Amino acid sequence: MSGNPSITSAGGTTTDQRRRTKLRLNASMVIGAVLILLIVALALVSFVWTPYDPSAVDPVARLQSSSTEHLLGTDKFGRDTLTWIMYGARITLMVGIVAVGIAVLIGTPIGIIAAVFAQYPWGVWLSAVIMRANDILLAFPALLLAIVFAAVFSPGTGPAMVAVGIAAIPGFARVARSGTMQVLGSEYVRAAKASNRSAPAIAIVHVLPNIASMVIVQASVAFAISVLAEAGLSFLGLGTQAPVPSWGRMLQESQQFLSTQPELALWPGLFIALAVLGFNLFGDGLRDRFDPKMEARGNV
Considering the complex, what minimum distance in angstroms separates the CB of residue 32 from other proteins? 23
Q: For other proteins, which is the closer residue by CB, 15 or 55?
A: 15
What does the alpha-carbon distance between residue 215 and residue 217 come to, in Å, rounded to a whole number?
Answer: 5
What residue ranges bind other proteins (CB under 8 A)?
A: 1-4, 6-11, 13-18, 20, 24, 186-188, 190-198, 201, 205-206, 209-210, 297-298, 300
Considering the complex, what minimum distance in angstroms separates the CB of residue 1 from other proteins? 5
Considering the complex, what minimum distance in angstroms separates the CB of residue 110 from other proteins? 22
Q: For other proteins, which is the closer residue by CB, 95 or 189?
A: 189
DSSP code of residue 80: B
Considering the complex, what minimum distance in angstroms separates the CB of residue 128 from other proteins? 11
- Helix 81-117 crosses helix 208-235 at what angle (to 10 degrees)? 140
Alpha helices in the chain (DSSP H): 5-23, 27-48, 81-117, 124-138, 142-152, 157-184, 187-194, 199-202, 208-235, 247-254, 263-290, 292-298
Q: For other proteins, which is the closer residue by CB, 13 or 260?
A: 13
Considering the complex, what minimum distance in angstroms separates the CB of residue 89 from other proteins? 35
Q: Are 227 and 91 in contact (CB under 8 A)?
A: no
What does the alpha-carbon distance between residue 212 and residue 268 come to, in Å, rounded to a whole number?
Answer: 33
Q: For other proteins, which is the closer residue by CB, 258 or 296?
A: 296
What does the alpha-carbon distance between residue 54 and residue 102 come to, in Å, rounded to a whole number?
Answer: 30
Q: Report the largest interatomic distance among the alpha carbons of the chain, rounded to a whole angstrom.
A: 84
Q: For other proteins, which is the closer residue by CB, 213 or 241?
A: 213
Write out 239-281 in H/E/C secondary structure.
CCCCCCCCHHHHHHHHHHHCCCCCHHHHHHHHHHHHHHHHHHH
67 vs 108, 119, 235, CA distance in Å? 48, 65, 27
- Please list, in sequence order, all residues whose beta carbon lies within 8 angstroms of the beta carbon of residue 269, skipping any fewer than 6 positions away: 251
What does the alpha-carbon distance between residue 110 and residue 244 come to, in Å, rounded to a whole number?
Answer: 35
Q: For other proteins, which is the closer residue by CB, 8 or 154?
A: 8
Q: For other proteins, which is the closer residue by CB, 243 or 292?
A: 292
